Chains A and B, each alone.
Chain A
Amino acid sequence: MAATAAGPEVVLSADAAGPQWSCSVWEPLSGAVITTYRGSSCGSRGLCLLNGEYLLGAQLGKNCISVWEIQRKDQLQQKIICPGVVNCLTASPNGLYVTAGIGDSIYLWEVCSGNLLIVLHRHYQDLTCLRFTDDSSHFVSGGKDNLVLVWNLYSVLQVDFVRTPEPRHVWTRHTLPVTDIHCGIGGPLARVATASLDQTVKLWGIPSGELLMSVLFDVGIMAVTLDPCEYYLFCGGNDGSIFQVNLFAGPVQRERNFQVDKESSYVFTGHRNRVTCLSVSMDGSLLLSGSHDETAKLWDIQSKQCLRTVNHKGPVTNAFLTTAPANMLNPDCKPSVSLPKFSRHMSTSEAAEGDEAGAITLSLQRGKQDVSESCLARAEELYQVMCAATDKQLLGDGENTRVRVAELEDEVKTLKKINRDLYDFSVQILTKQT
């Protein structure tokens, strides 16, 4: 829905400052703030758009997820209470599933029913990052136990009571906690970039499960992203610099200039503290970075200049570029699916109880709430119309009524006669038998 009605690109950024403004949406080129969503502050890698209709934010250090309807700016729509502190959160691009890293386990909810489908206990320590591939077929999780796991969504969802679901790949080559993950384009054939405190960024291939490349830096890397063409790898360092790694080799240069300042052509300098998040625009020309120095910066990738600095009131925890969902700009729109209550426990026990609990509530594509309301209303209306008709008939002119009463009385008489006959007949049969 939202993808088809792709609007201009906007920046969503959130900080961990205070209660008054949690997430702001601004236009990248002018820096004009379009809208803000108020609520409590949002944890790192805990902000995501669900189907272009809802905005989910994991609250910092609390065990709940706040949900905004994207067109209602100011008011918090609902809160999803989770079993533990939510470390990271993401929604699948097709809008069907929501996963959250809670403690050392991954929770997976189905959006349409709100059922908790599965809890995966495979990490040994807290999760730091969860990402879906662009076709929602796989998701990748990284944790403080240095592990990166690649899960095939559908094999995870296949209910098998004998064995617990296994990840498709287990990547163990990082030696310190994993800080960020980026999934490239290509669904199951995508490449995954992972960043870690061990000062490396590693590039993996999902199809082969092999480590393709490892880049060793001087500082721990906190954020990583690829541009849409996957020509460049951007790595946000612990010290505030953003490194650009070209994933291609230039032609061999026969002539070399004497003293070219190489460093400057590969590093974006400007942040004073840890870079927490990075994002590249759809056309690959703009780079957005958020940092602990309470600013988000917008960079021109080609010239490595800072185009705009947006000040926040606290460390920026989330910032990403996205196409503006249609609902965001039009306050009259309503989400097509209402968000059900997310369950806190696995639904398998309920499903075992009986078919009633296992039933699926179908909701049609076009605005379930509207449809259901209108259906009820229409039924009511119909009922009223019918009632009115009969009332009119009943309470109409007197002559008609009298005739009708007579007819009815006749009918009652015949019915009584039939009843009597039936009674006599049955009594006869019964007495004969005994």
Chain B
Amino acid sequence: NTYIRLSHGERGKMSKKRKRQDDFQKVKLKVGKKKPKSDNATNTNFKTQAVHVPEQLKTDASLPTNNRKLNVKDLLTQLHHYNSGVKQSALTGLKDLVSQHPSVITSHLSNILSDVSAVFTDKDPTVRAAAVRLLHFLAPRISGEQMAPFYPLVSAHLSSAMTHIVEGIQEDALKVLDVLLEHYPELLTESSNVLLKNFVELISHQKFSKEMKAGGKTSSWILSINPNRHITSQQWRLNVLTRLKKFLQTVVEGLSHSVENEAIFETDDRTGSEYMSTLEVNWEQYINGQQQIQLYEHSGSQPCIGVGTEDGLSSIENLKAFIKTLVPLLLDCWVEASPSQLVAPIPGNLLEPEAMMLMMQVLSIIQLLWKLMHQQDETQKLESWLRNQYLNDFKNHFIRNFPYSVMETLKPKKKDGTKKEKQGAAVLNGADHILALNLALCQVMVLLTNTSTVHLDTEWLEQIRKFVTESLSDGRKLSSHQLSGLLMVVWRLVLIQRNRGASEELLRAVYTQYQQQGLTLSVRTLLLHFFSGLYLREKSSNLLISRSKLLTRWLAGLPLQLAQLGSRNPLLSAQLINVIHAAAARANKELLQSLQSNVYRLYDPQDGTLVLLPSDMQHCLVQLVYFLPCISPELLSCLSRCCTMGRLSSKLATCLIRILHTRSSFGGWTTSLQDSVVKDVDYFSFLFSTLTGFSGDELAWLQNSNSNPHVRQTQFSPVRLYVTDLDQFVHHWTLTEVVCHCLSSIPSRIQCCDILQSAICKHLVGVNLLPDSTAGSVLTAVSQLIDPAFIPNECLLKFLASCCYSLLYFILTLEKNKMNDCLCRDLLWSSCLTALIHIPRLLRLMLQGVKVNGSSQEELPVIAQVLRLLLKQAQLRQHMVANAALLQQVIQDITNCKTGDGQEQWLTELHYWFSISITARPRGTTSLPVTY
């Protein structure tokens, strides 16, 4: 930059004479008059102006430049300038450049990083601030891999800054660390040993060897106090410890290879571990070749590459040494922050907010150290070591003033409403913080005890228990984070404790939380996991909780909650169902009772939980039916309606029917008769109503709807057919197949037929209008079940014959161009055919039913076609021959009744088929008169 200074001056000329006279003239100064200006006064009546040349005039095309037309090289050279202003502007310029041309980063990364990190230790605070800003800007744009090769350099500069003699530089080094922690945690953890030492040095200094010898047992590090800092030493420690906590957090997460959920209550492995991928094969997909099985890919845990660094915290010795150094320092911090040090007459458990923050950091660092210990191999040994080493200190310092509370620094001065609100929020916030502090304390302390030592620690455990119970049961709504902390403490207390009453009391406190209304999903989930984890562990560890009344009460309440929940929260329902399923499988009496009493609400076909939930949960609920201790007829009718109404998918419905079959006495699953939970009568009525597919009400409604467009009617059969839509038809048909299979596996076939016959006679024979699927299903069922030894009665046969004819008529009059109906037609045709083949006398009755007269002119072609098709069937020939006379009569009638002239096509075909199938038989019976 260039300054040009212009100046003007004027000087009067004086005569010699006057000059001489004037030289010694006395100037009189008077009060109230202005002092005359002296002659040699400088006239400052001019202005200066600076000419700024911020940009270079030249343009260099070879490198991208920033607003000031400076390229990277210029800027980096300016970083080495002695003037701090220049350096600062170079840093901001660099930021400018990088934001405009991101490509510069990749091309000049090594230069930029080496020069910028050198500025971390700059004497001028503004330069350091600019450097941090630049780093903040750069970090998201540089990936970890790109950063890795330069990381040792940056780290060295960082260490140098952290250990710098100037306090300001130390403070700013923490900011640099923040940025690096945020973006390159994995790189930082690699150099953890250096950084950890730096952290320790930031708040303390090593004692001299003499003192060490004298001190003997005390540790070699003591807290340092630097009066030169512009913040208090407490604040400074808080700053350092916050960073240390963050750093340890990343180390812990890096070592455990997975982000640990805080609220894992060691539930059983229902969900399975994440390390293994199970091969899920679906049979249908498998046989279609859509899925391949490669079992050896799934044959065991995948190898995980161990962390190679031995120098960090991953070895036991290093960890122990670090704990030995750090924990005494932390304790000292605690002691200084704790209010008992203050002279003011305040009770020992009131805390300044700042002190509280510091204590919080202390505790969370200890927790992190604990977690690190848990990743070692010899956890047990380390735990007992830690206990021996520090239990007394912890008891002395932590527990003495427990529980802590925060001192209210704000005094109510103004009556302003908003202020009050703010203050209230602050107090609430403070309360949250203090809860967090106390909770962290509890967690740390509880970790120190275990089952073998619990009897030694009763007095302070009592205190903790009291605190936990109070904070759980004071009716406040806890956030999920707080609650998870509390539950962790309770979990551990309950697991290690031998005192049954105390555990029960703790559980009661948790239960009161659970009973609160309007909890958020995460909180509710947490509580559910807590209880279910506790319940599922009841046999695996010799716990006293297995007969806990509270747990039982909680379990017994679940079915009702599930029923009340309805479809409002499927996620929560899924969790509830999982727990109920597990408990039902374990034959928990109270749960089963409660389930039994709520079963109608769960399985109601209209608005039960079963039909409201998504399909995967429906699956669980369907499987739950297996475990019901008693399945009443009412429940069975509910289930049957659920199946037939189509609210369950066909797959689930078949699954449900099979489960019921297994539970019935015909399932062959239970050995003794009294074990079967379904009565035979009820089971049969279930099967029959599922077979029918429509409830009595629906059928009655159908009868009344005369003007329905979907009704088909023929003159020769009393049964009219209602055309169902395709989806329903297919669903119904799937159910029919399953029901037929169930019925056919019942040992005494004749009795089964008898029951079916009486059911059909009772419920269906009187009905005039039947859905087509029902008619088809009934035909299929009877034809599959019929036994040669069973003689069906007249009523049934007549009904079946008319059904059969109606169906045949329906098939032939169906619009043939519809693709969809093809399936339906085929199914119905095959069912009619099997019925005609297997049920004796059915064909005769059907033919007898066809009484052709003049009034049925338009139906004649259809009848002819039916007969022709039946004649074509080889399997039916036996029956046809037996009824040849009747058949001939019918054909005769058709021929006679046909009005109009000439031989029609259909009639010719009919005659032809009749002649070749009946008359041209190889062993022709002589009794048959041949007319054609």
Q: Which residues of A pack against B, CB within 8 Å? A: 43, 60-61, 85, 122, 124-125, 145-147, 163-164, 166, 170-173, 175-177, 197-199, 203, 205, 207-208, 210-220, 238-239, 243, 245-250, 262-263, 266, 272-274, 292, 315
Residues facing A in B251-281 (CB within 8 A) are: 268-270, 272-273, 276, 278-281
| B-chain residues with CB within 8 Å of residue A124 when the two chains form the complex | 539, 585-587
Partner among A172, A176, A207, A266 whose Cβ is within 8 Å of the Cβ of B626: A176
Compute how far the CA of A219 lies from the CA of B298 in the bound complex, rounded to whole angstroms.
Answer: 25
Do A197 and B273 have beta carbons less than 8 Å apart? no
Compute how far the CA of A274 lies from the CA of B667 in the bound complex, rounded to whole angstroms.
Answer: 9
| B-chain residues with CB within 8 Å of residue A250 when the two chains form the complex | 292
Do B300 and A216 have beta carbons less than 8 Å apart? no
Do A205 and B300 have beta carbons less than 8 Å apart? yes
Do B668 and A208 have beta carbons less than 8 Å apart? no
Compute how far the CA of A286 lies from the CA of B720 in the bound complex, rounded to whole angstroms.
Answer: 54
Given contacts A43-B671, A215-B281, 12 further A-B contacts (CB under 8 A): A125-B586, A147-B585, A172-B268, A211-B276, A218-B284, A219-B658, A243-B283, A245-B281, A248-B293, A248-B294, A263-B287, A315-B668
Q: Is the interface of A mostly helix, strand, loop or mixed?
A: loop
Q: List 17 interface pairs A-B (beta carbons < 8 Å), by A numbering.
A: A60-B671, A122-B539, A124-B585, A125-B586, A125-B587, A172-B268, A172-B269, A176-B659, A177-B626, A197-B659, A208-B301, A210-B278, A213-B280, A216-B280, A238-B662, A266-B287, A273-B745
Shortest C-beta distance, B867 to chain A (Å), equals 34
| B-chain residues with CB within 8 Å of residue A173 when the two chains form the complex | 269-270, 272
Compute how far the CA of A147 lies from the CA of B536 in the bound complex, rounded to whole angstroms.
Answer: 12
| B-chain residues with CB within 8 Å of residue A266 when the two chains form the complex | 286-287
| B-chain residues with CB within 8 Å of residue A122 when the two chains form the complex | 539
Q: Which residue of A lies closest to B672 (CB)?
A: A61
Partner among B298, B585, B651, B659 whose Cβ is within 8 Å of the Cβ of A145: B585
| A-chain residues with CB within 8 Å of residue B587 when the two chains form the complex | 124-125, 145
Shortest C-beta distance, A282 to chain B (Å), equals 22
- With contacts A197-B659, A212-B278, A247-B295 taken as known, whether A218 is within 8 angstroms of B741 at the C-beta atoms is no
- With contacts A145-B586, A164-B542 taken as known, whether A208 is within 8 angstroms of B293 at the C-beta atoms is no
Do A238 and B270 have beta carbons less than 8 Å apart? no
The answer to the question of B32 belonging to the interface, with a C-beta cut-off of 8 Å to chain A, is: no
The answer to the question of B878 belonging to the interface, with a C-beta cut-off of 8 Å to chain A, is: no
Shortest C-beta distance, B824 to chain A (Å), equals 22
| B-chain residues with CB within 8 Å of residue A177 when the two chains form the complex | 626
| A-chain residues with CB within 8 Å of residue B300 when the two chains form the complex | 205, 207-208, 210, 212
The answer to the question of B581 belonging to the interface, with a C-beta cut-off of 8 Å to chain A, is: yes
- With contacts A124-B586, A170-B540, A205-B300 taken as known, whether A212 is within 8 angstroms of B668 at the C-beta atoms is no
Do B295 and A214 have beta carbons less than 8 Å apart? no
Shortest C-beta distance, A263 to chain B (Å), equals 6
Compute how far the CA of A215 lies from the CA of B744 in the bound complex, rounded to whole angstroms.
Answer: 27
Q: Which residue of A lies closest to B578 (CB)?
A: A175
Q: Which residue of A lies closest to B538 (CB)?
A: A124
| A-chain residues with CB within 8 Å of residue B655 when the two chains form the complex | 199
Do A274 and B668 have beta carbons less than 8 Å apart? yes
- With contacts A173-B270, A220-B662 taken as known, whether A212 is within 8 angstroms of B298 at the C-beta atoms is yes
Residues facing A in B36-54 (CB within 8 A) are: none
Q: Which residue of B lies closest to A204 (CB)?
A: B278
- With contacts A172-B268, A216-B283 taken as known, whether A203 is within 8 angstroms of B295 at the C-beta atoms is yes
Compute how far the CA of A394 lies from the CA of B295 in the bound complex, rounded to whole angstroms.
Answer: 85
Do B288 and A262 have beta carbons less than 8 Å apart? yes
Compute how far the CA of A172 lies from the CA of B270 in the bound complex, rounded to whole angstroms.
Answer: 6
Do B745 and A210 have beta carbons less than 8 Å apart? no
Shortest C-beta distance, A258 to chain B (Å), equals 13
Compute how far the CA of A208 lies from the CA of B655 in the bound complex, rounded to whole angstroms.
Answer: 32
Shortest C-beta distance, A182 to chain B (Å), equals 15
Compute how far the CA of A205 lies from the CA of B300 in the bound complex, rounded to whole angstroms.
Answer: 7
Do A249 and B292 have beta carbons less than 8 Å apart? yes
Do A197 and B662 have beta carbons less than 8 Å apart? yes
- With contacts A124-B587, A146-B585, A170-B269 taken as known, whether A215 is within 8 angstroms of B658 at the C-beta atoms is no
Do A214 and B270 have beta carbons less than 8 Å apart? no
Compute how far the CA of A247 lies from the CA of B294 in the bound complex, rounded to whole angstroms.
Answer: 7
Residues facing A in B738-774 (CB within 8 A) are: 741, 744-745
| A-chain residues with CB within 8 Å of residue B299 when the two chains form the complex | 205, 212
Partner among A197, A245, A249 whose Cβ is within 8 Å of the Cβ of B294: A249
Do B581 and A61 have beta carbons less than 8 Å apart? no
The answer to the question of B289 belonging to the interface, with a C-beta cut-off of 8 Å to chain A, is: yes
Do B280 and A214 have beta carbons less than 8 Å apart? yes
Compute how far the CA of A337 lies from the CA of B620 in the bound complex, rounded to whole angstroms.
Answer: 51
| B-chain residues with CB within 8 Å of residue A145 when the two chains form the complex | 585-587
| B-chain residues with CB within 8 Å of residue A176 when the two chains form the complex | 623, 626, 659
Shortest C-beta distance, A169 to chain B (Å), equals 9
Compute how far the CA of A138 lies from the CA of B282 in the bound complex, rounded to whole angstroms.
Answer: 30
What 8 A-B pairs are tightest by C-beta distance, nearest first?
Answer: A124-B586, A249-B292, A213-B279, A215-B281, A210-B276, A146-B585, A208-B300, A217-B283
| A-chain residues with CB within 8 Å of residue B623 when the two chains form the complex | 175-176, 198
- With contacts A170-B268, A245-B281 taken as known, whether A213 is within 8 angstroms of B293 at the C-beta atoms is yes
Compute how far the CA of A271 lies from the CA of B32 in the bound complex, rounded to whole angstroms.
Answer: 133
Q: Which residue of A lies closest to B651 (CB)?
A: A218
| B-chain residues with CB within 8 Å of residue A175 when the two chains form the complex | 581, 585, 620, 623
Q: Which residue of B lies closest to A246 (CB)?
A: B293
Do B270 and A197 have beta carbons less than 8 Å apart? no
Compute how far the CA of A172 lies from the CA of B582 in the bound complex, rounded to whole angstroms.
Answer: 9
Q: Which residue of B lies closest to A273 (CB)?
A: B745
Do A215 and B284 have beta carbons less than 8 Å apart? no
Do A248 and B295 have beta carbons less than 8 Å apart? yes
Do A249 and B293 have beta carbons less than 8 Å apart? yes
Compute how far the CA of A407 lies from the CA of B763 in the bound complex, rounded to whole angstroms.
Answer: 115
Shortest C-beta distance, B739 to chain A (Å), equals 13
Do B280 and A61 have beta carbons less than 8 Å apart? no
Shortest C-beta distance, A310 to chain B (Å), equals 19
Instruction: Point out which of B268, B270, B299, B540 has the most chain A C-beta atoms below 10 A from its C-beta.
Output: B299
Q: Which residue of A lies closest to B275 (CB)?
A: A210
Compute how far the CA of A43 lies from the CA of B671 in the bound complex, rounded to whole angstroms.
Answer: 9
Do B287 and A262 have beta carbons less than 8 Å apart? yes
Shortest C-beta distance, B537 to chain A (Å), equals 11
Partner among A212, A239, A273 whose Cβ is within 8 Å of the Cβ of B295: A212
Instruction: Point out which of B272, B287, B289, B295 has the most chain A C-beta atoms below 10 A from its C-beta.
Output: B295
Instruction: Point out which of B289, B298, B671, B672 has the most chain A C-beta atoms below 10 A from its C-beta.
Output: B671
Q: Which residue of A lies closest to B661 (CB)?
A: A238
Compute how far the CA of A176 lies from the CA of B625 in the bound complex, rounded to whole angstroms.
Answer: 10
Instruction: Point out which of B272, B283, B289, B671 has the most chain A C-beta atoms below 10 A from its C-beta.
Output: B283
Do A210 and B273 have beta carbons less than 8 Å apart? yes
Compute how far the CA of A61 lies from the CA of B668 in the bound complex, rounded to whole angstroms.
Answer: 13
| A-chain residues with CB within 8 Å of residue B741 when the two chains form the complex | 239
| A-chain residues with CB within 8 Å of residue B287 when the two chains form the complex | 262-263, 266
Compute how far the CA of A134 lies from the CA of B659 in the bound complex, rounded to whole angstroms.
Answer: 34
Shortest C-beta distance, B608 to chain A (Å), equals 20
| B-chain residues with CB within 8 Å of residue A273 when the two chains form the complex | 745
| A-chain residues with CB within 8 Å of residue B281 when the two chains form the complex | 213-216, 245
Shortest C-beta distance, B182 to chain A (Å), equals 36
| B-chain residues with CB within 8 Å of residue A245 when the two chains form the complex | 281, 286, 293
Compute how far the CA of A273 lies from the CA of B282 in the bound complex, rounded to whole angstroms.
Answer: 23
